[in-house]
Structure 1
Amino acid sequence: MQRRTVLKGAALGGVAVLGVGFWALPSGVAPAAVSLQGAQQVLAGLVDKPLTSLKGWSPAQVFNHCAQSIEYSISGYPALKPGWFRSSVGPLAFSVFAARGAMRHPLDEAIPGAATLSEPSSQTLALKRLQQAFSDFVAYQGELQPHFAYGVLNHADYAQAHVLHLYNHLTLLKLA
């Protein structure tokens, strides 16, 4: 009987946290449509623009980080969160982000096991890497790899995750 009470309490607590999290997410206007084409347009508009970061990573590091995430969705993430996380908490978090049309996560947290964000080091080349990653993702027809936190996503869900991820990081970049 106590086990059932604990499970009910945990479920209700989880729903409450997700509900609060849903409303705590930003609801401002995205820089473009939440689509692969929208993201590609935003990136095209950043070409040859001097950018600076409000805090944390440099623009080049932000672009490299976002490119890594897209590349790993095709090739496989270097490290995954535990299976229980990828089948419970991770998908719940993604469903909140997807429903809200916005993502909020630590903007200085590297992908587990990922290479450093120093290559390429120039903003111009890092932006080209990110644009290429988006192009590769659009063209990719194979099976996508499980997300390190969200678990198995289909192409449309991964596309939304990549775009929301980019838009969240762009909130800390501005024209220099």
Structure 2
Amino acid sequence: MPKTTLSARQGQTPSRRRWIKLGAWAAGATAAAGVAGTGVWMYQPDNDRQLVFATLEQAMQEVDRLSEVGAQALEPATAWSWSQTLEHCAQSIEFSLRGFPAPKAALFQHTAGAAAFAAFAALGRMRHSLAEPIPGAPTLAAAVPDASAALVRLRQAVQDFVAHPGPLQPHFAYGPLGRTQYEQAHAMHLANHLSAFDVRPG
């Protein structure tokens, strides 16, 4: 196979080289995750608003907006109701404070998991199956029209996260994360799920 020439390498702009690198990260993380049985990490549902949030505050502003006007699931983007989605997102934040019930092996966290988070963080958003529960988490409550209890739980989880003074627990897949990284992880997780809902017409 002929060697890559200097002129060919020079033809790649910094932006192009960045996207090539990100593509390699994402492909590697997806392949490893599929082998490990963690679901389709780069899953892209139809009818997705593709929201992007940098902070939990931004994410909660959208949660409050949808809650106030009536969130409407964008089928077939999600199989969960609004109440179940809020509960699931609350679970994720709660587990980051007290520990995930069924974490992946340390080897997975430090290889495929770390690569997946790096790819998502660089892109500013994550993609995953919106009907895949957190491993070992209690079964979500049945869907209910009134999501007020789930909303209260999510708000409390966010407040507890913000006020938490000590170290955070390793993510079940990504492994150990700093506070800033963990907030980004939670914000991306919320963005992915909230992208499957919009304002209820009428």
TM-score bracket for the superposition, by shorter chain length: 0.7 to 0.9
The Cα shift of 1:21 comes to: 8.0
**TM-score of the aligned structures, taking structure 1 as reference length:** 0.80
Closer, same or farther in 2 for the Cα pair 1:71/1:120, shift >3 Å? farther
Secondary structure at 1:133's aligned position in 2? helix
Does the alignment pair 1:38 with 2:58? yes
Residue type of the partner of 2:86? F
Secondary structure at 1:89's aligned position in 2? helix
- Kept after mapping to 2: 8 A contact 1:80/1:147: yes
Quote the residue 1:49 is aligned against: 69
> Whole-Å Cα distance in 2 between the matches of residues 114 and 29 of structure 1?
26
Give the alignment partner of residue 96 of structure 1, picking from 115, 119, 122. 119
The Cα shift of 1:51 comes to: 1.7
Closer, same or farther in 2 for the Cα pair 1:15/1:29, shift >3 Å? closer
User: For 1:26-63, what per-residue CA distance to the aligned partner results, in whole angstroms no more than 9, with x for missing partners?
Assistant: 8x7636x4112212222222333222322300011110
**TM-score of the aligned structures, taking structure 2 as reference length:** 0.71
The Cα shift of 1:18 comes to: 2.2
The Cα shift of 1:25 comes to: 8.6
Quote the residue 1:172 is aligned against: 196
The Cα shift of 1:72 comes to: 0.1
Residue type of the partner of 1:172? A
- Kept after mapping to 1: 8 A contact 2:86/2:151: yes
The Cα shift of 1:136 comes to: 1.0
> Whole-Å Cα distance in 2 between the matches of residues 47 and 16 of structure 1?
36
Closer, same or farther in 2 for the Cα pair 1:120/1:158, shift >3 Å? farther
Closer, same or farther in 2 for the Cα pair 1:118/1:19, shift >3 Å? closer
- Kept after mapping to 2: 8 A contact 1:35/1:159: yes
Residue type of the partner of 1:157? Q
Give the alignment partner of residue 93 of structure 2, picking from 51, 66, 70. 70
Q: Kindly name which structure, 1 or 2, has the bigger radius of gyration based on alpha carbons.
A: 2
Trace 1:1-176 onto structure 2 (pairs within 5 A): 17-18=24-25, 30=51, 33-53=53-73, 54=75, 55-118=78-141, 121=144, 122-176=146-200
User: For 1:94-114, what per-residue CA distance to the aligned partner results, in whole angstroms no more than 9, with x for missing partners?
Assistant: 000000001001111000000
> Whole-Å Cα distance in 1 between the matches of residues 90 and 103 of structure 2?
18
Quote the residue 1:10 is aligned against: none
Q: What percentage of residue pairs aligned between the two structures are identical?
A: 43
> Whole-Å Cα distance in 1 between the matches of residues 112 and 156 of structure 2?
31
> Whole-Å Cα distance in 2 between the matches of residues 148 and 68 of structure 1?
12
Unpaired runs of 5+ residues, structure 2, are 1-20, 30-41
Secondary structure at 1:174's aligned position in 2? strand
Quote the residue 2:13 is aligned against: none
Unpaired runs of 5+ residues, structure 1, are 1-13
The Cα shift of 1:159 comes to: 0.2
